[in-house]
Amino acid sequence: MPLLDSDDTLAEVPAGSFGFTDPFVAAGMLPGPMRLEPRGPTESFEVHKLQNGGVLLVGYAGPESQNRLRVGLDGSDQVTIYSDKWTGATLPVAYPLAAVQCGDPRALYPATTGYKPEFIYALDCQARKKP
């Protein structure tokens, strides 16, 4: 899947490509179309536009959340998806963006500095079964 080479809206992005978006946009908190950037800081969420036009939100989760997303969730299940690896959340996950309803992003700050990012975001989401 090729990386975007410009800052486009999700509608303009060709199928089969990916980019990065602001966590507030991923959570549906900002008006207007979703814009995808070719590169994003650790607090951005990766978004994949599939060949069939579907859109995946990509991030990290813990083993329990990863398994629940893999199996499929009903509308009462909650999961947290992180923009980068976090304590206990080091496994990659991808879930259809249309099947996730997320609250306000939460900023998280690592206890140490160095290789770890300055901060990341967590999205607390209520998800439905995959369409």
On whether residue 78 sits in a domain, the answer given is yes
Residues of the chain where predicted confidence (pLDDT) is lower than 50: none
State the Cα–Cα distance between residues 121 and 101, nearest whole angstrom: 16
Tell me, yes or no, whether 2 lies in a domain. no
Residue 12 CB contacts under 8 Å (≥ 6 apart), including other chains: none
Q: What would the two tokens of residue 4 be? A: 């975007």
- State the DSSP H helix or E strand holding residue 70, giving kind and residue range, or none if neither: helix 63-71
> For the segment 7-37, what is each residue's pLDDT rounded down to a tens digit?
788 888 889 988 899 899 888 877 778 888 8
**pLDDT score at 7:** 74
The strand pair at 91-96 and 106-108 is best described as unpaired
DSSP 77-92: -EEEEESS-BTTB-EE
Residue 90 lies in a domain: yes
pTM score, whole prediction? 0.85
Domain assignment present for residue 71? The answer is yes
Count the domains in the chain: 1
3 located within any domain: no
Domain ranges, residue 76? 8-127
Does 1 map to a domain? no
Which of 56, 12, 76 minimizes the C-alpha distance to 68? 76
pLDDT attached to residue 114? 56
